[in-house]
């Protein structure tokens, strides 16, 4: 199955439900063949944006281009955009085969071509042997694959996945996200994946856009966003982060409580001058904990055993700081109440100016 | 279910489980005696030679060899099928408009779904013939202005018109519910794959709503097929139920044809229910997801809005016509060969209060007693089925619910046959003509309604509330009395009101069991009055009373159910 690769360009998109603004000034470019994720908490507008690309919901203001074609004014049935729904939306009164054939029949394709296309699509998702079952006779994972087959059968220019893993149990979720990625690589189909789960976004997507309250917070590869967040929301939403307030003094960052922390020049935000820097992001695993000799003094308030890691909550003059240390064996070195000293890794402590 | 008796509590005659068992056995005996055996007897007699008493199929052969019966069979089938068609034509646009569009008239449509049900169809039948009959208001006006008439009420047409106007809400309610249960994503997925408009409605939306539609249609079919009152009042006798009634009351209790017809009626009811059950099995298409809405609705364009209002007002006029006709008849003086009555008067109400108040009192007593019996049996059966491990408890539920498939005529014939010749003590006379048997018939016919209400109520009482009482030392009977029944009050009350209101206008079983006119209830009184042109005014006035009783009952039960729901919602946070 060969599909035409098409990029997506969204320009200055605004959308509101009545008086409520749901999306504001969305601009993004998704490359042909890219696996792109929309990541954000519920209510961030990520699903609304996806539905706007598919043509559902209120008509947005702005442009949505697929390839060179502006589709913003087209009805859903003329967009050739394939969408897999969160609920899968398999029609319960049709067999798997008829579900998959539906889109082709609507395109008035001759019946002798529909059969092979349906079988090929089911083959791709590995469900050809279940073609004559009814949807209610399938497991959640199988229904998901049928929904995928139904969508790729029409050979859409773009594949949209709306929280596709949220209805599966944890073990199946990990397996399905690998299969999804493998399928996307095989088809080379430009794909947008909506999720609120950072792990899903990190493990599957080439690049992602983090959304909050209808605004894009940052776009980049998962690692870029984790290592170089541009604001506190992105820093906090991707992984655990200690965010301390303060300001630059020379080459050092000085916290509100007066602790002086050395930072690397590369840590500063590219767009903002040093005078605007007001926060530092400290990842728990990038802080070293010792009995003495560090940058920040504190007391262990609480200790949690997480298996591969031990997490300390350390009370410091700048508030409570979370520190993770690797655990191999033996008793943990610091008890609750112990005086400790924390030192930071200057290479991996990004600065924020927001 | 361990029996942990606390010795300090007062003595109990039976151990607890036996209490439930005794109640279960008594209920089973009641249902056997007054439902299963009479119906079984009717079916059995249909296969007996009237003279020799040996098993035979001769009766069925006679039935199908008689032109009148063949015609009645075909007519009943035709009328039921056409009523389903006409009811669908009325219900489909209403269901479509309310579920697919943002429409201000939704409240009017909801009212449309209730108004017909508060008037028993036979009550409106005569009023309908005065409005739509050959010399009724509409045809007089048509003839006067355009020089033609439309045979709305000629023969079978009249039955079809009256029945479909009365029963279309069953289709409307079921179809709207199924349409509302379709998740938006079902439709969006189709649009996403290139489908839209009528084609999408035909391929995706309607098939998904099909189970609801069929449930409603099957119900309409059975109700019309079994109905006796409407054809009788419209003087259409060549249908099955009227034939059964006329044979038994005219020819006699031993005429086998009444039993053959009864067998056919029961068989058709059971078959339709079974067929719709078979079709529906595994087709629960309710696809609404958590948080997801039903089908997306759009605004109507101005011209569409006018069209929608036009359709609704037309249907509203049709639906209200029996009510309007009845009011004109009840308050009018003489109404013949004119579009409207000659004058208006309260005299008919005076007549019924002076001459016929016994009908009203009889109705209150019969329907009231029947409803009391129903809620007692309903509560007991619900408790036994849901809360005890009694063997065979499900059969109590099945038996009680089976009453739905038994036409009133058949139950009436069964009682006549079974209790004929049994003399009651204390000078109460023959059991089959004793007024008490009417109460029993009404109770059996309405038990399914009360039972469903009680079941629903008990299911909402958390088991932990009972366990809490028991762990504090209350015995099983004391828990039922002090915890379970008080918490079920709303449901029990709703069951009582529904049973009462529908029993008050029941005609088909009672018409066969009324021994003397002084024992007759309202519905029978209306039937008697409507036989003569002079009696139509008072008959209509009685009809108004009946409508008021049913409307009040429906309103009350609705209020009770809503209040219960609000109360449940307040305490529903707990698992």
CA gap B546, B14 in Å, rounded: 45
Strands A296-305 and A339-344: antiparallel
For B139-198, the pLDDT digits (tens) are 778 877 887 778 777 888 889 999 999 889 888 888 888 888 888 888 889 999 999 888
Is residue B17 predicted with pLDDT exceeding 60?
Answer: no
**A233 backbone dihedrals φ, ψ, rounded to 5°:** -65, -50
Q: Which of B188, B196, B282 sits opposite A89 (nearest CB)?
A: B188
Return the closest-CA partner of residue A276 out of A231, A220, A217, A225: A231
Inter-chain CB proximity B207 and A55 less than 8 Å: no
The region of weakest confidence among A97-101, B112-116, B391-395, B518-522 is B112-116
Spell out which residues of chain B touch residue A89, defining contact as CB-CB under 8 Å.
183, 185-186, 188-189, 287
In this prediction, residues A107-129 reach a mean pLDDT of 92
3-state DSSP assignment of residue A311:
strand
**Which domains occur in chain A, in start order?**
8-227 (3.40.50.300), 240-352 (2.40.50.140)
Kindly state the average pLDDT of the residues A211-221.
Answer: 94
The crossing angle, in degrees rounded to 10, of helices A111-124 and A140-153 is: 140
Interatomic CA distance for residues A170 and A175, integer angstroms: 9
| CA nearest to A81 within chain B | B192
- Rounded to the nearest angstrom, the minimum Cα separation between A345 and chain B is 45
* B370-425 confidence digits (pLDDT tens): 999 999 999 999 999 888 878 888 888 888 888 888 888 899 999 988 887 777 77
Q: Each residue of B520-531: pLDDT tens digit?
A: 888 888 888 888
- Measured between its terminal Cα atoms, the distance across chain A in Å is 47
The CA distances from residue B25 to A240, B46, B390, in Å, are: 66, 29, 10
Nearest to A106 among B186, B195, B283 (CB): B195
What mean pLDDT is predicted for residues A1-25? Answer: 84
Q: Average pLDDT for residues B313-326, to the nearest whole number?
A: 87
Q: A32 or B540: which carries more pLDDT confidence?
A: A32
Task: Compute the mean pLDDT over every residue in chain A, rounded to the nearest whole number.
Answer: 89
* Chain A stretch 48-87, residues whose beta carbon is closer than 8 A to a beta carbon of chain B: 54-56, 75-83, 85-87
**Cβ atoms within 10 A of the Cβ of B394, count?**
11
Tell whether B196 lies on the interface with A, counting CB pairs under 8 A: yes
A261, A280 Cβ separation under 8 angstroms: yes
CB contact under 8 A, A82 and B192: yes
Q: For B574, how many CA atoms within 13 A lie in the half-sphere containing its CB?
A: 10
What's the confidence (pLDDT) of residue B573? 43
Which residues of B are less than 8 Å from A85 in CB distance?
185, 188-189
- CB hemisphere CA count around A188 (13 angstroms): 7
> Which residues neighbour A333 within 8 Å (Cβ) at sequence distance 6 or greater?
none
Give the pLDDT confidence of B204-223 residue by residue, as tens digits. 988 888 888 888 898 899 88
Does A331 touch chain B if contact means CB atoms closer than 8 Å?
no
Taking the Cβ of residue B199 and every Cβ of chain A, the question of whether any pair is shorter than 8 Å is answered with: yes
Angle of CA points B210, B216, B222, to nearest 5°: 130
Q: Report the pLDDT value the prediction gives residue B570, as an integer from 0 to 100.
A: 60
The terminus-to-terminus CA distance of chain B in angstroms comes to 22
The span from the CA of A184 to the CA of A349, in Å, is 34
Long-range contacts of B459-465 (CB under 8 A, 24+ apart): B459/B386, B460/B491, B460/B568, B461/B487, B461/B488, B462/B574, B463/B387
Complete domains list, chain B, with CATH: 59-343 (1.10.3720.10)
Cα angle B13, B19, B24; round to 5: 145
Residue B422, Cβ density class (10 Å: 0-12 exposed, 13-18 middle, ≥19 buried)? exposed
- CB neighbourhood size of B314 (10 A): 12
ipTM (interface pTM)? 0.80
CB B325 within 8 A of CB B547: no
Q: Which of B189, B210, B282 sits opposite A89 (nearest CB)?
A: B189
Mean pLDDT rounded to a whole number for chain B? 82
Say if B298 is an interface residue toward chain A (CB within 8 Å): no
Question: Using CA atoms, how far apart are residues B161 and B35, in angstroms rounded to an integer?
Answer: 32
Q: Which of B487, B493, B491, B482 is nearest to B456 (CA)?
A: B491
Q: State yes or no: pLDDT of B290 exceeds 50.
A: no
């Amino acid at each position: 199955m060969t599909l035409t690769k098409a990029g997506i360009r969204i320009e200055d998109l605004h959308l509101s439900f009545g008086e409520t603004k749901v999306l504001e000034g969305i601009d993004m470019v998704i490359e042909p063949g890219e696996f792109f994720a929309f990541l954000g908490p519920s209510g961030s507008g990520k699903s609304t944006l996806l539905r706007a690309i598919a043509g559902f919901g209120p008509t947005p203001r702005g442009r949505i281009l697929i390839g060179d074609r502006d589709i913003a004014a087209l009805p859903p049935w003329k967009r050739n955009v394939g969408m897999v729904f969160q609920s899968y939306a398999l029609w319960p009164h049709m067999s798997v085969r008829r579900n998959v054939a539906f889109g082709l029949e609507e395109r008035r394709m001759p019946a002798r071509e529909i059969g092979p296309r349906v079988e090929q699509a089911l083959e791709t998702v590995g469900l050809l042997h279940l073609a004559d079952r009814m949807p209610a006779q399938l497991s959640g994972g199988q229904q998901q694959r049928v929904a995928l087959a139904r969508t790729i059968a029409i050979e859409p220019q773009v594949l949209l996945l709306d929280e596709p893993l949220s209805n599966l149990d944890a073990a199946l979720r990990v397996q399905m996200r690998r299969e999804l990625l493998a399928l996307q690589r095989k088809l080379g189909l430009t794909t947008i994946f909506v999720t609120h789960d950072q792990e899903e976004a990190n493990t599957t997507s080439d690049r992602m856009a983090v959304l909050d309250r209808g605004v894009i917070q940052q776009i980049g590869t998962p690692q870029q966003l984790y290592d170089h967040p541009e604001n506190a929301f992105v820093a906090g939403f991707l992984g655990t982060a200690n965010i301390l307030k303060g300001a630059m003094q020379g080459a050092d960052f000085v916290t509100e409580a007066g602790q002086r922390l050395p930072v690397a020049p590369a840590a500063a935000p590219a767009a903002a001058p040093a005078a605007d820097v007001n926060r530092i992001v400290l990842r728990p695993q990038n802080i070293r904990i010792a009995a003495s000799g560090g940058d920040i003094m504190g007391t262990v308030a609480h200790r949690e055993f997480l298996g591969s890691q031990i997490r300390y909550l350390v009370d410091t003059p700048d508030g409570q700081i979370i520190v993770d240390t690797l655990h191999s064996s033996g008793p943990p070195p610091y008890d609750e109440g112990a005086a400790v000293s924390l030192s930071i890794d200057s290479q991996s402590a990004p600065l924020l100016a927001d | 279910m361990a029996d942990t008796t606390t010795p300090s509590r007062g003595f109990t005659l039976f151990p607890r489980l036996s209490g439930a068992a005794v109640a279960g056995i008594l209920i089973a005996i009641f249902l056997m005696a007054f439902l299963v055996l009479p119906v079984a007897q009717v079916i059995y007699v249909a296969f007996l030679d009237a003279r020799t008493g040996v098993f035979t199929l001769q009766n069925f052969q006679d039935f199908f060899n008689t032109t009148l019966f063949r015609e009645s069979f075909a007519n009943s089938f035709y009328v039921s099928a056409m009523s389903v068609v006409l009811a669908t034509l009325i219900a489909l646009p209403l269901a479509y408009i309310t579920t697919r569009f943002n429409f201000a008239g939704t409240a009017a449509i909801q009212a449309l779904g209730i108004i017909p049900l508060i008037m028993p169809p036979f009550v409106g039948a005569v009023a309908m013939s005065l409005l739509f009959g050959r010399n009724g208001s509409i045809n007089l006006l048509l003839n006067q202005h355009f020089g033609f008439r439309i045979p709305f009420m000629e023969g079978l047409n009249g039955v079809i018109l009256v029945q479909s106007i009365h029963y279309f809400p069953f289709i409307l309610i079921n179809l709207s519910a199924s349409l509302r249960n379709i998740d938006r994503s079902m439709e969006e997925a189709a649009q996403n794959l290139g489908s839209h408009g009528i084609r999408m409605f035909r391929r995706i939306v309607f098939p998904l709503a099909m189970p609801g539609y069929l449930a409603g249609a099957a119900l309409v079919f059975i109700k019309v097929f079994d109905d006796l009152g409407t054809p009788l009042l419209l003087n259409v006798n060549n249908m099955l139920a009227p034939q059964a009634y006329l044979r038994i009351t005219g020819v006699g209790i031993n005429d086998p044809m009444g039993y053959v017809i009864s067998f056919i009626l029961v068989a058709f009811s059971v078959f339709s229910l079974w067929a719709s059950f078979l079709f529906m099995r595994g087709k629960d298409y309710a696809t609404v997801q958590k948080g997801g809405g039903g089908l997306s609705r759009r605004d109507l364009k101005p011209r569409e809005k006018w069209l929608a209002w036009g359709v609704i007002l037309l249907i509203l006029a049709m639906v209200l016509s029996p009510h309007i006709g009845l009011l004109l008849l009840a308050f009018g003086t003489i109404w013949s060969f004119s579009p409207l009555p000659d004058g208006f008067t309260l005299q008919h109400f005076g007549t019924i209060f002076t001459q016929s108040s016994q009908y009203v009192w009889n109705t209150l007593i019969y329907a009231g007693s029947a409803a009391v019996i129903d809620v007692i049996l309903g509560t007991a059966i619900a408790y036994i089925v849901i809360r005890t491990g009694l063997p065979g408890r499900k059969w109590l539920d099945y038996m009680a619910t089976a009453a739905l498939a038994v036409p009133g005529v058949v139950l009436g014939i069964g009682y006549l046959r079974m209790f004929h010749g049994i003399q009651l003590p204390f000078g109460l006379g023959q059991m089959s003509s004793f007024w008490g048997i009417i109460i029993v018939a009404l109770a059996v016919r309405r038990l399914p309604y009360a039972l469903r209400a009680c079941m629903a109520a008990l299911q909402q009482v958390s088991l932990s509330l009972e366990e809490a009482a028991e762990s504090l030392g209350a015995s099983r009977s004391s828990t039922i009395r002090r915890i379970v029944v008080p918490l079920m009050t709303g449901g029990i009350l709703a069951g009582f009101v529904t049973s009462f209101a529908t029993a008050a206008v029941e005609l088909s079983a009672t018409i066969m069991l009324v021994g003397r006119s002084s024992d007759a209830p309202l519905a029978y009184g209306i039937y008697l009055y409507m036989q003569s042109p002079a009696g139509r005014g008072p008959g209509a006035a009685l009809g108004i009373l009946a409508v008021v009783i049913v409307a009040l009952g429906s309103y009350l039960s609705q209020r009770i159910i809503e209040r219960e729901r609000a109360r449940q919602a307040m305490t529903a946070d707990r698992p």
